[in-house]
Chains A and B, each alone.
Chain A
Amino acid sequence: MTIIEIENLSAGYEGKVIIEKCNLSIQHDDFIGIIGPNGGGKTTFLKALMGLIPLRTGQIRVFDNEKQVPKILIGYLPQINHIDKKFPITVREVVLSGLIQTRNWLQLPSKNTESKLQHNLQLLGIESLQHKIIGELSGGQMQRAFLGRAIIASPKLLVLDEPSTFVDSNFESELYDILENLNKEMAIVMVNHDLGTISSRVKTIACVNRNFNYHPSNEVTTEMLEQYHCPMDIIAHGAVPHRILHNHN
């Protein structure tokens, strides 16, 4: 079942086109890994997909149960680096802000939101940190909190921009188990530099380097690497299945 249909999309900033000719249709059970070099336009693509930056051409159609709708619930984990680490907000509130759309417009607390919150914090192992200020957390803990914020509303589409940044290898495999579970209920689009993870955990792959190329399998080929000049980490994770790929030079 299609939830999002992207047609001939191009987008950029201040008159500069960053990505063009994107065509993609996202199914309700997709798990798409996005790879590409730094500055290739991965984050830009995600922002265009969510309507955070205006499209220069093309269109995005959104569907719910085969019917076209103006919007669906989207969970978003931004690439870490754009938040103010000194901002006076607790971990609790950060995660709760993921319910911003589904709560009443005054954002008053309720039994229901509280139990959702506690379940979510438990899942991510950050219960004991909930009253801390977000900036006091380590990078990995912060990433968990932001993941919590992204998934707490049970969105139809989960958009993750490099979710494993700062996360230790223990939690990383736990993270992908969590994502695998979530994938039963929502589509996932994930940017990741770690090719080992991409090919073992995602279902399909898209390469973004100014243009957009979708590969309907999770096999990372040498040709893809060459075409997209992807200087990416290849990390082997103990028990996690992975492929070692050729260097491309």
Chain B
Amino acid sequence: MDQIIGVFQYTFFQNAIIASVFTTIICGIIGTYIVTKRIVFITGGITHASFGGVGIAFYFGINPILGAAVFAVLSGLGIEYMSKYKDIREDSAIATLWSLGMALGIIFIFITPGYTPNLNSFLFGNILTVSYTDLYAMFAVVLIVVVFFALFWRLIMYIAFDEEFARSQNIPVQLFKYILVSLVALTIVINIRVVGIILVLSLMTIPPSVVNLFVKRFEYILLYSILVGLSGALFGLFMSYWLNIPSGASIIFALVIIFFLGKLLSIVLVKKKSTEGLSGNI
């Protein structure tokens, strides 16, 4: 017990907890959007493309997160722009973007003279080292995402459900999609420090997938995903501290455990419901 209370005295741990809260708010909301809209694969493409930005930024001595942000937003807008003309189920084009980003990243980091940065921190993140600057940046993204969804969740839901109908009603669908894909890109970038490029996707997809097992309404999935994400993040954070394992991986691991528990529970509930139905008939 002393150990639990003791750890809260450390600034790095307090920061990590605040970061968890911010991260799960952002990821719960944006994750619900990408899961229900079925653009998880596109999001994966944007995520890995951003690594190209990290590499190039290193080479030119710019802040790598800034490089990632530019790459993520540009590739997101690019995909959205293309999908205006073509149905974006172009798996192979996105897969190419995916690996191109990684390749560019590796190449530029390799040819950067002198000191080679620790790639692990970008690939897997480390929530225990977030700085105040990171926290301020995260808070800004939280504000933007929360305000945008609080105001427009209905329109966002209508557009995600049936884009063509929304367009027939003169809704500026394309504008919404550009804004949303930029928010997806920002979400990815802001989480690179926390769980890293490789793991950020599941931080977005697992919470809504768990909630969707039980809840089938967009607005509730938005809210509950934040709670599920937060429990996973805190659980993972403590695991990481006690077992001395990397925080990003342990958070994702905790979320996967929650997913399987949820799946189990949903199966049990369905079974119970169907036997109740049967006995009711008898």
Residues of A within 8 A of B (CB): 14, 50-52, 71, 74, 76, 78, 82-84, 87-90, 93-94, 97-98, 100-101, 105-107, 133, 149, 159
B160/A100 in contact, CB under 8 A: no
Q: Chain A residues near B198 (CB, 8 Å)? A: none
A50/B157 in contact, CB under 8 A: no
Let me know if B8 is at the binding interface, CB within 8 A: no
A52/B169 in contact, CB under 8 A: no
Let me know if B3 is at the binding interface, CB within 8 A: no
Let me know if B162 is at the binding interface, CB within 8 A: yes
Given contacts A82-B164, A97-B165, contact A90 B171 (CB under 8 A): no
Chain B residues touching A, range: 20 to 34
A100/B217 in contact, CB under 8 A: no
A76/B218 in contact, CB under 8 A: no
Residues of B within 8 A of A (CB): 36, 38, 85-86, 151-152, 154-155, 157-158, 160-162, 164-171, 212, 215-218, 221
Interface SS of chain B = helix
Q: Chain A residues near B36 (CB, 8 Å)? A: 87-88
B165/A101 in contact, CB under 8 A: no
A52/B157 in contact, CB under 8 A: no
Nearest CB of chain B from residue A130's CB, rounded to whole Å: 13
Query: How many Å lie between the Cα of A89 and that of B212 in the bound state?
Result: 12
17 examples of A-B residue contacts, CB within 8 angstroms: A14-B86, A52-B164, A76-B169, A83-B162, A87-B36, A87-B218, A89-B161, A90-B217, A93-B157, A94-B161, A100-B155, A100-B171, A101-B170, A101-B171, A106-B151, A107-B158, A133-B217
Q: Chain A residues near B168 (CB, 8 Å)? A: 50-52, 74, 76, 159
Q: Chain B residues near A88 (CB, 8 Å)? A: 36, 212, 215-218, 221
Given contacts A89-B218, A100-B155, A107-B154, contact A52 B167 (CB under 8 A): yes
B170/A71 in contact, CB under 8 A: yes
Q: Which partner residue on chain A sits nearest B85 by CB separation?
A: A14
Query: How many Å lie between the Cα of A74 and that of B166 in the bound state?
Result: 11
Q: Chain B residues near A101 (CB, 8 Å)? A: 169-171
Interface SS of chain A = loop
Query: How many Å lie between the Cα of A83 and that of B221 in the bound state?
Result: 19
Q: Chain B residues near A78 (CB, 8 Å)? A: 162, 164-165
Query: How many Å lie between the Cα of A89 and that of B155 in the bound state?
Result: 12
A84/B161 in contact, CB under 8 A: yes
Query: How many Å lie between the Cα of A88 and that of B215 in the bound state?
Result: 8
Query: How many Å lie between the Cα of A50 and that of B165 in the bound state?
Result: 10
Nearest CB of chain A from residue B266's CB, rounded to whole Å: 15
Query: How many Å lie between the Cα of A72 and that of B171 in the bound state?
Result: 13
Given contacts A84-B38, A133-B216, contact A100 B162 (CB under 8 A): no
Query: How many Å lie between the Cα of A11 and that of B103 in the bound state?
Result: 41
Nearest CB of chain A from residue B28's CB, rounded to whole Å: 14
Q: Chain A residues near B166 (CB, 8 Å)? A: 97, 100
Q: Chain A residues near B217 (CB, 8 Å)? A: 88-90, 133
Q: Chain B residues near A50 (CB, 8 Å)? A: 168
Nearest CB of chain A from residue B155's CB, rounded to whole Å: 6
B158/A97 in contact, CB under 8 A: yes
Nearest CB of chain B from residue A54's CB, rounded to whole Å: 10
9 new A-B contacts, CB < 8 A, other than A89-B218, A94-B161, A97-B166, are A50-B168, A52-B168, A76-B165, A78-B164, A87-B161, A88-B215, A88-B217, A97-B162, A101-B171
Q: Chain A residues near B215 (CB, 8 Å)? A: 88
A106/B164 in contact, CB under 8 A: no
**A14, A71, A100, A149 — most chain B CB neighbours (10 Å):** A100
